[in-house]
Amino acid sequence: MAAAAAAASPCIFCQIAGKPTSTTLLHTDEKVVAFQDINPAAVRHYLVVPVDHIPTVKDLQRRPEDYSLVSHMLEVGKKLIQRDAPQCHQYRFGFHQPPLNSVNHLHLHCFALPYTPRWKCIKYLSVGSIGFVEAEKLLGKIKPLPPGRSLKRYDLYLCRCEGGINKLVKLNVAGYACIVSL
């Protein structure tokens, strides 16, 4: 399936996952491929990419297959980074969220820190729903619900925000918060 997608798609990650390219693969299996980022921002900076084309984190849902895929991506990323940078004591794993993603194909950034140069950390700041989301946090958002619990189109929650102002917050199916005016 990935080879057909690579032939029909201009997506660079589909091309890397679907057919031999000049990119050196650090890992490959039926679900994902991993390789070094072309513009590394840390001592080690790898990308773990699903073989099947999924545009962004916003396309993931509370489904077992999505949760399993992201868990697998994180497991592969952790193994590679810890294998190749055992001297590093800080690691970071996460995804860019639209509109800040550079390639519209889901990819996990895997870092062995520190950032090089140091200013590159700015690109990986968490800025609400448009910034960088940590892999573990994303897993929490897409974790399938227990049997018997279904998420309607929106579950509503009342929360106390800054300044003591109550806001009605709704979580969409993927678990992203949207603030509703009162």
Angstrom distance (rounded) from CA 58 to CA 174: 7
Angstrom distance (rounded) from CA 13 to CA 17: 6
Selected catalytic residue, list 45, 53, 105, 109: 109
Q: Phi first, then psi: what are they for 128, rounded to 5°?
A: 60, -140
Which among 67, 79, 64 is positioned nearest to 26, based on CA atoms? 79
Q: Catalytic annotation on 53?
A: no
The DSSP call for residue 163 is G
Angstrom distance (rounded) from CA 94 to CA 74: 9
* Residue 93 neighbours by CB distance under 10 Å: 19
* Residue 44 neighbours by CB distance under 10 Å: 20
Q: Which residues are part of the catalytic machinery?
A: 109
